[in-house]
Amino acid sequence: MERMNMEAGDRFPLYVKAPSIERSSIKHVELTYEKHLENLDKLLKAQKAEIENMQNLDFREHQLPLARIKKVMKTDEDVKMISSEAPALFAKACELFLIEITHRAWIHTETKRRRTLQKEDIKSCISRTEIFDFLLDLVGTHNYS
């Protein structure tokens, strides 16, 4: 086997240095609070339209496990029997609840210029949003801003 004679300049470098990018040239696109709420409103309206247009509920396809939902429902002593539709409706309600609380918590995440949703973002969302007041006892009443 013949060896190729390579000059020092002919070799490939072990690594290629990435071009430097100035921080000022990177523009972060931030949505305003109102824009976030508009997006949430559109999302929830789309979910509502999907629910209204359902002809037959398919009880087998859900994001949340129906057996677990039934188990939670049966923790109430007064619940003796559960129809097949009830867990499906609870699953959809839980899905909508999670969509809304996550979306509102994400607003707080972006205002803090982070890309990871954290516990404090959810606490802030709960303390700032009146419809989540029933959760204040779980997260404490400290106002996260």
What's the pLDDT score for residue 120? 92
What's the pLDDT score for residue 60? 58
Domain assignment of residue 16, yes or no:
no
H helices present in 53-117, as ranges:
66-73, 85-111
State the 10-residue block means of pLDDT for the chain, 145 residues long. 45 40 41 77 84 64 82 90 86 88 90 90 91 89 56
Domain assignment of residue 2, yes or no:
no
User: For residue 108, what is the domain's CATH number?
Assistant: 1.10.20.10
What's the pLDDT score for residue 27? 41
Domain assignment of residue 11, yes or no:
no
Terminal Cα distance for the chain, rounded: 70
Give the H/E segment covering residue 119: helix 119-128
Domains identified in the chain, total number: 1
Look up the domain containing 108 and give its range. Answer: 37-138
What's the pLDDT score for residue 119? 92
Tell me the longest C-alpha to C-alpha distance in the chain: 87
Q: Tokens representing 35?
A: 């824009």
